[in-house]
Amino acid sequence: MPASAISVKGLSKTYNSAFGKQEVHALRPLDLTVNEGEIFGLLGPNGAGKTTLVKLLLGIVHPTEGSGELFGISIRSPEARKAVGFLPENHRFPEFLTGRETLDLYARMSGTTDMDRANKSEELLERVRLTGSAHRRVKTYSKGMMQRLGIAQALMSNPKLVFLDEPTDGVDPVGRREIRDLLLELKAEGVTLFLNSHLLSEIERVCTRVAILKEGRLVREGTVEELTTQDRIWRLRSTPIPDQSLGDHAHLVSDAQSNGLSEYRLHAADRTALNASLDHLRLAGVEIESVEPLRQSLEELFIDVVEDAST
């Protein structure tokens, strides 16, 4: 069983208004585990509690109830953040520092040694394509450059767990792909990544597991495959099925193409029922090219879940 990088039990956050008359439940009691080496994506509409959860895990806000651990150390202890890197949304580096000085100063705060800082900053500046601008003050940086500098900052202390809040925000498509590649490289190095992003296609491409929050509650959680696979529906590509064999369990999606194949949706309660349907089709002379579980995109799932939860 893999060790957990993040473990949360009954963690919640409630804000009180100035005179304590009104309570805002930013996060309802939540249980969650993220295993080491995963790329975990956190999704949810605005105000769902995503940022609150990240802030709770990183000690930026205090929990109302419950507990959490990073690599087995309580989130209330600064020690828990020793192996952690963080890229906040809309981060602001002091404008008077150069890119290189920024990396050096923030890594010093993480307890990184002089030698490690020097070596690591050059390596990361190269990795995020900022070597040529490292001597410039950050106030001259574009938004994309600031974002790349922020990612480099988050990686300076060789963290085992990295929280990234909207990492591709303001980054052009090429830069976005580079960041995606960087995330996959980090995963290959065994780094656990906790991703908070509105770009569902990005999450779908890189995340191994996803959770969806809505109004402070966890509404769905699982691997991308588990979540996007639609229950009891399969995509069938075959030679055309005679009308009398279609029945209720199959319907045509697209007519025969130049290769003579059509696409159908097959409805079956389980694998046994699916195989019975396929046998029935074969008996009717249908040649089967492929059968695969039907998946919806993460974006479709997200909209379904959010709309379901709101109704």
Partner 1 sequence: MIGVLLLTIRELRAKKIILGLFGVATLVWVVLALALRLDVIEGSLAGARLFGEEMSGDSDLTDELGEPALGNSLLETFVFGAEMFAAGAAYWVGILLALFATGGLIASMLQQGQVDLLLTKPLSRSKILAGRLLGVSVVMLALLTYLLGAVWLVMSIKTGIWNPRFLLAISVVFVMFMVLYSLISLTSVWTGSTPLSLILTFGLLFASLILAIKPLHEQITQPGRSIVVGLYNILPKFVDVGAHIVPQLVVGETVESWFPFVSSLAFGVVAYALAFRLFQRKDF
The CB-of-264 to partner 1 minimum distance in angstroms stands at: 51
Q: Which is nearer to partner 1, 61 or 118 (CB)?
A: 61
Can you name the residues that pair with 25 across neighbouring β-strands? Answer: 14
> Considering the rule CB under 8 A, would residue 84 count as an interface residue with partner 1?
yes
> Considering the rule CB under 8 A, would residue 118 count as an interface residue with partner 1?
no
Q: Among 36, 101, 122, 263, which residue interacts with partner 1 (rule: CB under 8 A)?
A: 101
CA of residue 198 relative to chain centroid, distance: 9
Q: Report the C-alpha dihedral over residues 283, 287, 293, 296, rounded to 10 degrees.
A: -130
> Considering the rule CB under 8 A, would residue 121 count as an interface residue with partner 1?
no
Give how many residues touch partner 1 by CB under 8 A.
31
Q: Among 67, 74, 90, 297, which residue interacts with partner 1 (rule: CB under 8 A)?
A: 90
Output the six-digit token pair for 61: 């806000």
Q: What angle do CA 74, 164, 106 make, to 5 degrees?
A: 75
The CB-of-89 to partner 1 minimum distance in angstroms stands at: 8
Residues in the chain: 311
The residue with tokens 């960041």 is 179
The CB-of-127 to partner 1 minimum distance in angstroms stands at: 20
Q: Among 31, 79, 181, 307, which residue interacts with partner 1 (rule: CB under 8 A)?
A: 79
Q: Which is nearer to partner 1, 41 or 59 (CB)?
A: 59
> Considering the rule CB under 8 A, would residue 111 count as an interface residue with partner 1?
yes
Instruction: Give me the 1-40 binding string for partner 1, x by CB under 8 A, dash otherwise.
Output: --------------x-------------------------
Task: Give the phi and the psi of residue 201 in degrees, each rounded to 5.
Answer: -65, -35
Q: What angle do CA 60, 61, 63 make, to 5 degrees?
A: 135
The residue with tokens 């209720």 is 248
> Considering the rule CB under 8 A, would residue 49 count as an interface residue with partner 1?
no
Q: Among 20, 78, 132, 190, which residue interacts with partner 1 (rule: CB under 8 A)?
A: 78
How far apart, in whole angstroms, are the C-alpha atoms of residue 185 and residue 160? 13
The residue with tokens 């490289």 is 185
Q: Among 61, 276, 291, 294, which residue interacts with partner 1 (rule: CB under 8 A)?
A: 61
How far apart, in whole angstroms, are the C-alpha atoms of residue 295 and residue 138? 44
Question: Side chain identity at 203, as an amino acid letter?
Answer: I
The CB-of-161 to partner 1 minimum distance in angstroms stands at: 11
Q: Which is nearer to partner 1, 26 or 207 (CB)?
A: 26
The CB-of-86 to partner 1 minimum distance in angstroms stands at: 4
How far apart, in whole angstroms, are the C-alpha atoms of residue 225 and residue 227? 5
* Residue 122: how many other CB atoms lie within 10 Å: 14
85 and 160 in contact (C-beta within 8 Å)?
Answer: no
Instruction: Give me the 163-202 binding string for partner 1, x by CB under 8 A, dash otherwise.
Output: x---------------------------------------
The CB-of-18 to partner 1 minimum distance in angstroms stands at: 13
How far apart, in whole angstroms, are the C-alpha atoms of residue 71 and residue 187? 17
Output the six-digit token pair for 203: 């999450």
Footprint on this chain of partner 1 (rule: CB under 8 A): 15, 55, 58-62, 78-82, 84, 86, 88, 90-94, 96-97, 101, 105-106, 108-111, 153, 163
